[in-house]
Structure 1
């Protein structure tokens, strides 16, 4: 499997977190680069939560230098989701059981197998660099004690499919898939990405709950709009939600 043109690859035995390492390296990078760590001592997920990384799992961050407005830049969470979906298909040879959970998780047989974290690196209103952190349970899933109440159970790729893949090989599959979706996003905009994402969405049409720190909204998952918002159909009408944790 070839490596995509134009992307650098940095593989490290151990770091505090690939997101932190990406931030340190970003100013010196000439172009987009993947930072893969075989072990993390202080990995983190959304909202500053710890990201536990058993041995053999995957932790990498892609550093980009985007040119779009911040709102458009953030839509790359959907690009990364589709790339992860395709990487799983590439390494397993099948699509069964895979689904994408808004805003940034990949599900396998109903359990969470991967998560995505976006952070902008820059000053003022602009985004000098974008860091896309990706964690995948290739070899093992963290214990239930690591989860918040009601969260989707974690699963591992090997336990659910019998497919054992090294972090380095998964990175190659992911980098290839990401380069393909990034090219489509840059060329055609969010429309085709949105359509593809919705065709793989978990619980589309079902009743779900979106929670923020202060509010909770329950309704039918109607769509994702053209700015990436989750749209729920509720008894009080349609509600567009920009950021939340989703519970089934």
Structure 2
């Protein structure tokens, strides 16, 4: 893992521990409400030491008792390659770019309960595997097949997240001029636009220098470019 990506994870972890506390509480409540009682004499699962340590850290951060639950494992964006290819073709954008951005956005657990717990701590947080903000989703869905869908659906519906990401990249691409003085490729600018918004994307196209976070986002995109290509079968 690169130094920039390690730094990104550390910054994110300072808030994530609080979201983890809410997350494990939600998971514990769901487990208690939805699970049938075990048969008499059935063995009881023992949580691992690492799970205990994570839960204890979250409990200390919030003062809440430590429930016995652990986050779902991370996912592999490549599992959604077929959907990425389909939505990229429909939106007229690069499937490889779509996949590379999913890899960029995979730095946090994309479990619905975790995302909703995170959003309680950060009301402006993004939802779904493509990490899309509410205002962006509400703008992108206008006139599209998913116009009747809600931003609130994104954590559970990964296909919707990919579809919205593809059309947002389409809309960003439509805003780029035919040529620009900066040395960035179209895919570079679209990724920067996805990360920082269309106004900044156009500024970068005119020659503005990206800040450290945008530069890191672009570096990570380049680092993920090869595996994104393998995932979607790009040459």
| Larger CA Rg, structure 1 vs 2 | 2
Structure holding more helix per residue: 2
Q: Which has the higher contact order (CA 8 A, sep 6+)?
A: 2
TM category, shorter: under 0.3
TM-score when normalising by structure 1: 0.25
TM-score when normalising by structure 2: 0.26
